[in-house]
Structure 1
Amino acid sequence: MAGLSTSSLAIAATPVLPGLGNVLIQNNEKLAILGGTAVREKGRIGPAWPYVDDQMVNAIVKTTRSGIWSRIQSATGNVPTFEKEFAKQIGVGYSVGTGSGTQALSTCVEALGIGPGDEVITSPYTDMGTISSILTSRALPVMVDLDLTSFQLDPEEVAKKINKNTKAIMPVHIMGVPANMERIMELAGKHGLKVIEDSCQAPFARYQGKAIGTIGDLGCFSFQASKAIACGEGGAVVGNDQALMEQCYTVQNRGASRKGRNETIGPKYRMNEFEGAILMGQLPGAKDRFLERNENAEYLIAQLAVIPGLTPQKKYPGTESSSYYHFAMSYNKEHFNGADRSLFLKALNAEGIPMGSYIKNGLHKEPWIQHVLGLDEYQTMYTKERREEYANSLDLPNCDKICNETLISFWGSGMLLGSRQEMDEIVAGITKVYENRDSLNKIKTS
């Protein structure tokens, strides 16, 4: 593990900025991108990810030799066992495994009877899987603008977009930090709407005494390789309504119920036994890793609080913990001598601190919209006036500003499991760039 370079950490008793503890930067140290010495050698911060141990490897070998590779071969196999254990750890009555987080969301949309002519309000700042899950049932994803500092769906913008065809709200707990569920649930209750929580980035996060994913009608999680609980792909639906969760099972089981009757429309979204084996190997330490990420994130927030121009992702009242799929902040260039975000990020990465801007642009800027609106079925299901109104409603300035100017983040699943020394290196790199902000505009932009 790379240590802090002695040239970039001051031994002097007087800190450059107050409140930085042991993380002190020499005021005259040149930025690495301009020829100075980097705060840390480039390389991974935190342990290798996804998490692997011998127990997980042995579970895969055992599953391979057993010949039980599909969940339908055994009622007590890896997948049914995982579903029960995951529900227990989340604190919910029921769980159904799927092949991905996108599949989990799609299962929910279909299970709730949302289909052609219906609309679901959601965020433009998310993975395309969120949108895809709505389109798969031939409903219309209605994207609304974000709160500038939480990067979450703005409930007041949601309220403006509710109409007679709106059937559900799908908030996205982006970065693993809870959205404003209090206000979203108020809106849902007032208008008789369902709520599907896209909790794909937020396992174990808690808000106002409840686990994220258990506040709405249904919650969805992803176990893709980069996630806090990982099996390559994989997902889960959770809920407390037994009848609704049985419908979710039936939908993801290509329309066949547990009784073996072919009852409805559904794809085959089943989680396989190999995914279940890996997940069962990950669960024993998953909450400990969750707590460690929270501890390191709170440490970074406290250490960086003295640096103007960097604001941690806003948390709504009642947020108890977050999953920190990404550790995100807002960047204000006015406190960095007017330097664009790209220059700040170039300088920081040169110091050995891997940070980026996360999502390049909101999904309201992608070509799927023109494609969908041009399909015969959407032209049949939605009037010309509605399609034109929809196309003209995609001015989402806050989302654009977040994507183009303000959001900076680093991936948290692995990095936030780093040592305290590595957290100090992150603080040291950011502090060094701030102290040398007058030099940022000297960086070549090409």
Structure 2
Amino acid sequence: MTTKKINRRGFLRTSTMIGMGTAMGLTGFPLMTHSQTRQSAILGGKRSFSGTWPGWPVIGTPEEQELLKVLHSGKWCRLGSPTAPRFEGEFSRMTGSGHALATSSGTTALLTMLGALDIGPGDEVILPPYTFIATYNVIVHNYALPIFVDTDIESFQIDAAKIESAITDNTRVLMPVHIGGSPYNVDEVMKIAGKYNLPVVEDACQAHFAEWKGKCVGNFGLGGAFSFQASKNLNSGEGGAIITNDEAFHRKCYSFHHQGQGSDSASLEPGTGTRGSNLRLTEFQAAILLAQMTRIPEQIKKRSENAAYLTELLSQIPGITPAKLYPGVTRSAYHLYMFRYNKEAFAGMDRSKFVNALNAEGIPCSTGYTSLPQDPYIRNLAKNKHYLKIYGEKRMKQWLEQISCPVNDKLCGEALWFTQTMLLGNKSDMEMIAEAIRKISRDAKAINNL
């Protein structure tokens, strides 16, 4: 038996490398060494994450107290009652906006703004293809024509450089989306809007308290819409709000969402304008929101810290590309943590197999949106009898060709999400996500052969 001699210099070099790896934690040497000794869970190994992710919503005494106030007051409708106006005042203060208006959902917040702008047949509204279907639905609800502008694949946001070429004489509104809670390129969008004198309606339904250059989104266009649906960072089950710094627009929105009536009470007389609806928030929802907002600062801090750390970890893994934030973004809401998956870096493993392997590790992951311009729900608009009557068969065939978004199609084949609740965990949870992906990367060939 022979023993290999290690001189003093070699010993010191080896000891230093080990020490540096330990200090670096999961982003350095020990992570790779540790993961090499463990098999992926989908191959029979131990799960990377065996705990439980934070639940949602967070509920406690503040919610109980606010709800009981409304219950015992006997005033459950916002008309003439104090709770919804109190929420509007607080939401306006926290977003730094001049006015806030509570609505029954994020969808009806958008619908209200388009109604206040009198959008209708013959009008065109520009929107991104990477968004929830509600952004599209509010346009076609008014029999306007939705014009998709392709995606910037690196940010998941609307490609502002492609908006101008989509503008026609019939364009009435730009309706970009701060998707996933991260601001789109606000400066570029507003520059184009100013050049063509077009109002911007910001779909900020996922972007509560996100900031562009230190200012909350929703404050840059004519108005911004927010959603308080159950999955959102600010949650009342259902609900929404509009913020605006234009007093006249605020009055029009209030009138539209309250049957065309301007006062904070019910009237037997018709209101002003020519159309409206009942899109009001209830006092109970407003009460929950007031309580939930007391938790917002701490939750924002936690999500931001965890997202930054997770981005640092995932950026080191070949084939994983976190969504880019534009230089003007001073805060993302991180309603979604979005990233792209390159299967070639994982031995050609399909994204669906990667997701299954990640789920087996205890890491829930979603493939996100499908490409709207390719979906039958969208494309069948060209056959809709009302649209054919308004626009004609030739225009609707042209529209089908016009809405092609090849970059978005590519993104929808690569995109992956983690939800906002996962970012409310601990720093070690972020490390476990990275460890799980490294394990899958190492075992990619074996997993691909399952």
TM-score (norm. length: structure 1) = 0.91
Q: Shift of the alpha carbon at 1:113?
A: 2.1
The one of 219, 239, 244 aligned to 2:249: 244
Deviation sequence 1:341-390 (CA, Å, 0-9, x none): 1222111111111112112x122233333543334432232243321110
Q: Secondary structure at the match of 1:185?
A: helix
Q: For residue 4 of structure 1, what is the aligned residue in structure 2? A: none
Alpha carbons of structure 1 residues 108 and 351: separation in structure 2 relative to 1, 3 Å: same
Q: Shift of the alpha carbon at 1:20?
A: 3.6
Q: Shift of the alpha carbon at 1:208?
A: 2.2
Give aligned pairs, total.
425
Alpha carbons of structure 1 residues 96 and 52: separation in structure 2 relative to 1, 3 Å: same
Q: What are the ranges of 5 or more consecutive residues in structure 1 without an aligned counterpart?
A: 1-11
Instruction: Return the alpha-carbon distance in structure 1 between the equivalents of residues 91 and 30 of structure 2.
Output: 40
Q: Which amino acid aligns with 1:287?
A: P
- Bigger mean CA offset, 310-319 vs 422-431: 422-431
Instruction: Return the alpha-carbon distance in structure 1 between the equivalents of residues 95 and 187 of structure 2.
Output: 19
The one of 302, 306, 311 aligned to 2:316: 306
CA contact (8 A) 1:296 1:423 kept: yes
Is the counterpart of residue 124 in structure 1 residue 129 in structure 2? yes
Counterparts of 1:106-185 in structure 2, within 5 Å, are 106-185=111-190
Is the counterpart of residue 403 in structure 1 residue 412 in structure 2? yes
Counterparts of 1:45-444 in structure 2, within 5 Å, are 45=53, 47-74=54-81, 77-258=82-263, 262-264=271-273, 265-359=275-369, 361-404=370-413, 406-412=414-420, 414-443=421-450
CA contact (8 A) 2:26 2:435 kept: no
Deviation sequence 1:299-356 (CA, Å, 0-9, x none): 1111222111111101112111101111011111222122221222111111111112
Q: Shift of the alpha carbon at 1:22?
A: 6.8
Alpha carbons of structure 1 residues 346 and 94: separation in structure 2 relative to 1, 3 Å: same
Q: For residue 6 of structure 2, what is the aligned residue in structure 1? A: none
Q: Secondary structure at the match of 2:317?
A: coil
TM-score (norm. length: structure 2) = 0.90
Larger radius of gyration: 2
Identity of aligned residues (%): 39
Alpha carbons of structure 1 residues 21 and 180: separation in structure 2 relative to 1, 3 Å: farther
Q: Shift of the alpha carbon at 1:147?
A: 1.0
Q: What's the Cα RMSD here?
A: 2.0
CA contact (8 A) 1:172 1:198 kept: yes
Q: Shift of the alpha carbon at 1:80?
A: 0.5
Q: Shift of the alpha carbon at 1:419?
A: 1.4
Q: Shift of the alpha carbon at 1:164?
A: 0.6
Q: Which amino acid aligns with 2:440?
A: V
Instruction: Return the alpha-carbon distance in structure 2 between the equivalents of residues 95 and 154 of structure 1.
Output: 28
Q: Shift of the alpha carbon at 1:106?
A: 0.5
Q: Shift of the alpha carbon at 1:21?
A: 7.8
CA contact (8 A) 1:373 1:379 kept: yes
Q: Which amino acid aligns with 1:103?
A: T
Instruction: Return the alpha-carbon distance in structure 2 between the equivalents of residues 60 and 287 of structure 1.
Output: 22
Q: Secondary structure at the match of 1:409?
A: strand
Alpha carbons of structure 1 residues 369 and 308: separation in structure 2 relative to 1, 3 Å: closer
Deviation sequence 1:74-124 (CA, Å, 0-9, x none): 2xx111000010010011100000000000001111111221110001012
- Bigger mean CA offset, 170-179 vs 24-33: 24-33
Q: Which amino acid aligns with 1:238?
A: I
Q: Secondary structure at the match of 2:224?
A: strand
Alpha carbons of structure 1 residues 29 and 159: separation in structure 2 relative to 1, 3 Å: same
Alpha carbons of structure 1 residues 18 and 294: separation in structure 2 relative to 1, 3 Å: closer
Q: Shift of the alpha carbon at 1:292?
A: 1.2
CA contact (8 A) 1:125 1:363 kept: yes
- Bigger mean CA offset, 320-329 vs 253-262: 253-262
CA contact (8 A) 1:152 1:174 kept: yes
Instruction: Return the alpha-carbon distance in structure 2 between the equivalents of residues 55 and 369 of structure 1.
Output: 42
Q: Shift of the alpha carbon at 1:442?
A: 2.0
Q: Secondary structure at the match of 2:200?
A: strand
Deviation sequence 1:162-213 (CA, Å, 0-9, x none): 1110011111111101111111111111111111110000011111232111
Of Structure 1 and Structure 2, the greater helix share is in 2
